[in-house]
């Protein structure tokens, strides 16, 4: 869990306030800017810097270009007792995602299961931001989203699918919630962008060049394609995410989701959220006791040679969050330069240079 070298450390609240004030100054709604800023810093706190404040300049660029609505006008366009579809009106993904998971939780309280799909949205940050909301209500939360094309179908060389992450968050009694949150590619495109800004290479298993050959150069990877996790299995999962978050939601899918980094068109990203009310399936105390037992079994499992610990899904991220709340969030030099330039443009200070 070592931090990088060329960086400065900031208190989480400092980064969140900066992001909120910049978004407001760029024309964003005050309350919604606060949600987006919270979403970005939540990623940094959990050690997922590829989805943290590094995204702020890009978000602002899309807002400035009129490619994200300054106020998210959500509308339920179709609903059933346990399900609904929301149109986000080309607003912020973080705002639409929070509202949609709220709808899923509300329906799960009544029907045992609640599902909400979102169309006409934008990049929504880390999926755990939403799934955790259900876990906090003693429900199992599921969050999926599609994204602009970055990964080829298995055997192809041209990007078709986004990184299409899948997150499942499960309450676990006296344990922290168990959270799986991962892209269906080996690595998210944001990690490649971050490596480029840090001047670092990437593992050859992450991406290929435009001809489908493995590369360790993040700049070359940006013009090639990401590799799916588990080879054809990751490709299959990415496809299913596009079915649920894209086609089923009435949103764009595959290459028809506009590129996040090209300021030429609204994205029409689709999301899919589900909440499972545990008490509709099993007595809550019995379920939580089972999760505690599962967690303890896994921690005490026989370890492979060279392994000093077995982590539960999401446990490393909880450790990052604890560390960074206490010690601050590191911002690499390349990212910090972009943030300071953004702050100067909107007369918002990030602190002394």
Among residues 51, 123, 271, 293, which one is catalytic? 123
Q: Are 137 and 105 in contact (CB under 8 A)?
A: yes
Residue 107 CA to residue 127 CA, distance in Å, equals 20
Beta strands in the chain (DSSP E): 7-10, 75-80, 83-87, 113-121, 139-145, 166-172, 175-182, 207-208, 214-215, 225-226, 269-277, 329-332
Q: Are 292 and 173 in contact (CB under 8 A)?
A: yes
Q: Which helix (H) or strand (E) holds 241?
A: helix 232-241
Q: Which helix (H) or strand (E) holds 60?
A: helix 56-64
- The first and second tokens of residue 169, run together, are 């968050």
Beta strands in 291-336 (DSSP E): 329-332
Q: Are 72 and 88 in contact (CB under 8 A)?
A: yes
Residue 271 annotated to the active site: no
Residue 14 CA to residue 44 CA, distance in Å, equals 13
Q: Are 149 and 259 in contact (CB under 8 A)?
A: yes
Q: Which helix (H) or strand (E) holds 108?
A: helix 93-111
- The first and second tokens of residue 261, run together, are 């980094």
Q: Are 210 and 226 in contact (CB under 8 A)?
A: no
Question: What DSSP assignment string belongs to 20-34?
Answer: HHHHHHTT--HHHHH
Residue 71 CA to residue 49 CA, distance in Å, equals 26
Q: Write the CA distances from 207 to 220, 221, 347, integer angstroms.
A: 9, 6, 38
Residue 129 CA to residue 48 CA, distance in Å, equals 12
Give catalytic residue positions: 123
């Amino acid at each position: 869990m070592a931090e990088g070298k060329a960086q400065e450390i900031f208190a989480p609240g400092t980064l969140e306030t900066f992001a909120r004030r910049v978004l407001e100054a760029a024309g964003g709604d005050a309350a919604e800017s606060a949600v987006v800023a919270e979403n970005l810093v939540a990623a940094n706190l959990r050690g997922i810097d590829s989805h943290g404040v590094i995204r702020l300049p890009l978000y602002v660029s899309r807002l400035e270009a009129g490619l994200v609505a300054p106020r998210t006008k959500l509308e339920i366009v179709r609903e059933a007792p346990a399900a609904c579809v929301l149109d986000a009106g080309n607003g912020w993904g973080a705002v639409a995602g929070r509202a949609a998971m709220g709808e899923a939780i509300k329906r799960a309280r009544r029907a045992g299961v609640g599902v909400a799909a979102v169309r006409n949205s934008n990049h929504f940050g880390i999926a755990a931001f939403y799934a955790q909301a259900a876990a906090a209500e003693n429900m199992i939360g599921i969050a999926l989203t599609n994204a602009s094309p970055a990964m080829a179908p298995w055997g192809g060389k041209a990007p078709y699918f986004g990184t299409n992450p899948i997150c499942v968050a499960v309450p676990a009694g006296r344990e922290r919630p168990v959270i799986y949150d991962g892209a269906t590619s080996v690595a998210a495109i944001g990690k490649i962008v971050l490596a480029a800004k840090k001047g670092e290479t990437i593992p050859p298993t992450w991406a290929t060049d435009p001809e489908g050959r493995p590369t360790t150069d993040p700049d070359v990877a940006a013009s090639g394609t990401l590799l799916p996790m588990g080879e054809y299995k990751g490709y299959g999962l990415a496809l299913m995410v596009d079915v649920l978050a894209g086609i089923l939601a009435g949103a764009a899918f595959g290459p028809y989701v506009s590129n996040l980094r090209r300021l030429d068109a609204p994205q029409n990203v689709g999301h899919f959220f589900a909440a499972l009310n545990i008490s509709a399936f099993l007595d809550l105390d019995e379920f939580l006791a089972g999760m505690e037992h599962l967690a303890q079994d896994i921690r005490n499992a026989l370890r492979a040679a060279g392994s000093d610990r077995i982590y539960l899904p999401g446990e490393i991220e909880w450790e990052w969050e604890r560390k960074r709340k206490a010690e601050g969030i590191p911002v690499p030099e390349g990212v910090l330069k972009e943030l300071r330039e953004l702050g100067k443009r909107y007369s918002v200070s990030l602190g002394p240079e």
